[in-house]
C-alpha cells in the first residue's frame, strides 16, 4: 500500500501518517522517495486500536 491508500483506509491526513512514521507507530519501507506499507501491518494497527465490548 502507498501513503494515499493508507490515508484513505485509516481516514487520516498525510501529515498524521508522517507523524506515525516519525514516532514509529506504523512500520514502513521507503523506495526512492516513496513510502510503502504492508496490509498486514495496517490490519495489526487497526486491531490494536479496536476497543472490545465487554459483555
pTM recorded for the entire structure: 0.82
Cell 498524521 found at: 16
Q: Which residues contact 55 (CB under 8 A, 6 or more apart)?
A: none
Model confidence band, residue 13 (pLDDT cutoffs 50, 70, 90): very high
pLDDT tens sequence across 19-50: 999 999 999 999 999 999 999 999 999 888 88
What pLDDT does residue 53 have? 80
CA nearest neighbour of 6 among 50, 45, 33: 45
The residues spanned by each domain of the chain are 3-49
What pLDDT does residue 36 have? 98
What pLDDT does residue 37 have? 97
Overall average pLDDT of the 6-25 stretch: 96
Amino acid at each position: 500500500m502507498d501513503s494515499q491508500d493508507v490515508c484513505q483506509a485509516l481516514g487520516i491526513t498525510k501529515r498524521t501518517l508522517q507523524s506515525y512514521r516519525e514516532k514509529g507507530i506504523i512500520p514502513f519501507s521507503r523506495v526512492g522517495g516513496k513510502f510503502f506499507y504492508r496490509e498486514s501491518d495496517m490490519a495489526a494497527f487497526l486491531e490494536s486500536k479496536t476497543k472490545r465490548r465487554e459483555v
